[in-house]
Every structure is written in C-alpha cells, then in structure tokens.
Amino acid sequence: MDIRKTGQLIARTRKEQGLTQRELAERLHVSDRAVSKWERGLNLPEAALFEPLCQALNITVVELLHGERAEATVPALEQAVDEAVALAGEQERRRKRCWRAILVLLALLAAAGVLIGRPMWEDCQRQKYWDRDNVRPTVHYYRFSEPNVYLDMKIRAQGFYGPFETDNALFGNDLAICAPMGRPPDLQKVELGPVCSWEIRFQFVYEKSDMEIKVLRWPYGLKGTDVGLEDGEEVSFSKMSDDYEGRHGIEGPAYVIRDLEPEYLYSVVIFWGDGYFAEYPFYTVETGG
C-alpha cells in the first residue's frame, strides 16, 4: 500500500467530482486540514471513513487502498479487506501509544510540579513569616584569625524597637552605646592586631524583603552617655561575591566591614516596617601581640 498514491487518487477523484477540500471535509465531518494531509500523503483516513469517502469520490475501497483505478475482483476485495483491517489495527495502536505518552507526560509534569512547586511554596511561606513586623532579623558574624581559619562570633541583638513596645518583650532595649559601662556583660569584644584581620563579615540567617541595613559606630568612650542612632558615624560596607552564599551553613548574601579601628563600638543596624529596627553590636580593642 502506497500512502502517496492513495493521496493522489483522493485529490484527483475529488476534483473529478467537482468538490473542494472544504466540501469533501464537510461531507465526512472532518476538517479541511485533514483532507489536505490525505492528499499530500502525510496521513491516511481512519478506517471508519473508508466507505463514506469512497461513496463521495465514487471509487471502491480496493481503489482507495491501491491508489489507482482497478477492477473489483474477489481476490482484490479480500486483499483490500485485509489491508483495511491491518490499517485499522495500526491506527488503534498509534492512538493508544499517543494516549499513553500523554498520560506519562502529565504524570511527569505533576511530579515536577510537586518537586519544584512545594519548595517554592515553602520558601514563600517562610519569607512571609520573616517579613512580619514582630519577627526580628538575625545576623551571623564571622572573621578570620589567620588565612582560611574563621571564627564564629555569637552576637545577640541589643536593641529591638517597634511601635508596640512592651515591658516583658524584646522591644524597648537600650542601644548598646547607651547602656552603662560593663553592660551588657556579653558584649562581643573584637581584638585587632597582627594575628587577626581588621575586618568583619556578616550574613543574615533570613532577610526581610523590605529591610534597610546600616553600619554605625561610636567612640567607645561615649558608652553610657545620652547618645542615639543619629550620633553614630555611618561606616561603609560592601556585599561579597555570590560564591560566599551558603558558606558556613548560611544561605543569603554576605557582607564585609573593612578597615576596623580600635576603641569603637560598632553596630549593624537593621530597619524595617513602620519604625522597627534592631542592632547587633561589638566593640574593638587593639592588641600589641
């Protein structure tokens, strides 16, 4: 069976009957694009359309399958029936394979949606939680004491402020520079000397979407006096390259404060929402070793 010869026969006999592709398609309740594919030898009609197509073109099934005019002998009819049955079976197998492929594809897409969509949804929910006004951002400091040896610095939030300050919550704490000498007792000391580098790196465990970051410093001798954020000197800091993200088990961008000077109280101050801010302070001393 030659699919191209069959297509040529359909086109030729259609024209002999004075039919357009659209008119033939309307008689068979198919699209004119389907008729065009038949005539170009790209596809065959479904077996169920053989009889109505032959009636419309005034040809026999034998002629349709052979692609040429032929005498309808008994052997020819038997061969045509066998070919039609085989063709119908092949078309049914193709349909089944197509549906199986579609179902497999849908299953893979559904699985991919779960694998990709769920983590994204969880990240979105986590970010929504950290973007709440009453959730404090967390800063993680580290520094290098010698090449490739870093030290964790456990620095707690000293000041945490907001419109809904309460007496028994983390809100309303004094700025580190305002607290009397010796308070808080666990204020982090950073030694600056030949062994330790004169820089500090920090990352946020989780960043708020709308927060602003500043690094301020005050001479340590002002500790315990009536000074505030507006009296702090703003210190420049820079974002590190993206390959630092994920180091030390912390996701998110890393920042560095360079050229630290001794005898200063430094604070990384984070602002967010409507009047909220928190500070993470440390103070510096110079060692002669």
In this predicted model, what pLDDT tens digit does every residue of 98-125 receive, in sequence order? 888 888 888 777 777 767 777 777 778 8
Is omega for the bond preceding 184 within 30 degrees of 0, making it cis? Answer: yes
Residue 277 pLDDT more than 60? Answer: yes
**CA distances for 18 relative to 23, 24, 32, 49, angstroms:** 10, 10, 15, 20
Residue 143: predicted pLDDT? 76
Model confidence at 138, pLDDT cuts 50, 70, 90, reads: confident
Amino acid at the residue 39: E
Residue 206: predicted pLDDT? 72
Residue 167 pLDDT more than 50? Answer: no
Residue 157: predicted pLDDT? 66
246/276: higher pLDDT: 276
Residue 97 pLDDT more than 50? Answer: yes
Q: For residue 137, which of 153, 166, 161, 116 has the smallest C-alpha distance?
A: 161
Asked whether 282 and 189 are in contact (CB, 8 A), the reply is yes
Residue 247: predicted pLDDT? 56
With the CA atoms of 231, 234, 235 and 236 taken in that order, what torsion angle do they form, in degrees rounded to the nearest 10?
Answer: 180
Residue 142: predicted pLDDT? 80
**Per-residue pLDDT tens over the stretch 206-248:** 788 888 999 999 999 898 888 888 899 999 999 887 665 555 5
pTM: 0.55
Residue 215: predicted pLDDT? 95
Beta strand pairing status for 139-146 and 149-153?
antiparallel
Q: What residue spans define the domains of the chain?
A: 3-95, 139-286
Residue 70: predicted pLDDT? 67
Residue 236: predicted pLDDT? 94
Residue 272: predicted pLDDT? 85
Q: Which long-range contacts (CB under 8 A, 24 or more apart) does 47-52 make?
A: 47/84, 47/85, 47/87, 47/88, 47/91, 48/88, 50/84, 52/27, 52/28
Helix (H, G, I), strand (E, B) or coil at 269: strand
**Per-residue pLDDT tens over the stretch 12-37:** 999 999 999 999 999 999 998 999 98
Q: What is the mean pLDDT of the chain?
A: 78
247/130: higher pLDDT: 130
Amino acid at the residue 288: G
Helix (H, G, I), strand (E, B) or coil at 261: coil
What class does CATH assign to 3-95? mainly alpha
Residue 210: predicted pLDDT? 84
Q: For residue 278, which of 133, 148, 122 has the smallest C-alpha distance?
A: 133
Beta strand pairing status for 159-161 and 238-239?
unpaired
